[in-house]
Structure 1
């Protein structure tokens, strides 16, 4: 079946079974490999993307559920040469060890900061809890989200002047 997906601001027509997980379409059909296959059960968060502003597990989300909705992947935030604020904060805090979970962590953090630009540490912990880091860089990830929040707040203050 032909479906239209809006990924990173670009419309893509894909011919897939409507029950196909979004993760497979992103990786196999659209060649967007930032979202990773981790557990396939929505328990690790390596596949996290943002749909209409909300962090979701793309391994559990069928294509039919996201047709014509705004899907953002890590590739839609920034690039290696021009990272966005959240990506840069994760780099600055050296939040990645093996790197496998980081795209999902960044996407979950981005969805939080889009909704709550100045979250408390408790709000960050609660929001990020759905994503796992087996390397144990949770303290660095928390610092990265805090750093991104502070940078965003500074940018807003500078723009208001």
Structure 2
């Protein structure tokens, strides 16, 4: 099942999220297993499977990283279970700098401002790299798009770690 076809979208990174949400609700309503409670066992099973596909499709397409990964998988590039590391020395150096910055936040005289500044920096980097992913993907440069997705995944993980640090520091 192609999730883009399921929701009536072309295989592109940019999608209308409001339309996706509306189509999700429509499909869920139509194929919800409760509507098939009195149906024969095979129809109930099909409804459960269809509802699971709809949920998986929605979760995949609504997340930029999962959507990018899925697009690449449709082009034969599977990043989900890969063990390959990124071979970009400049980005590896950037990773180390960001990790040092993250480690220093707790000791900064104004950790709240430091967190805000770092969040802004990471968000800006994420948006720039996302645009680069879209450009590579649209130009069918899938290897470069895959490398950009690897970088996006790193930034996403770092953003999550920053959020956890903020929660810890301010016990939210």
* TM-score between both structures, scaled by the size of structure 2: 0.26
* TM-score between both structures, scaled by the size of structure 1: 0.27
More strand by share: 1
Greater radius of gyration (CA): 2
More helix by share: 2
Higher relative contact order, structure no. (Cα contacts within 8 Å, ≥ 6 residues apart): 1
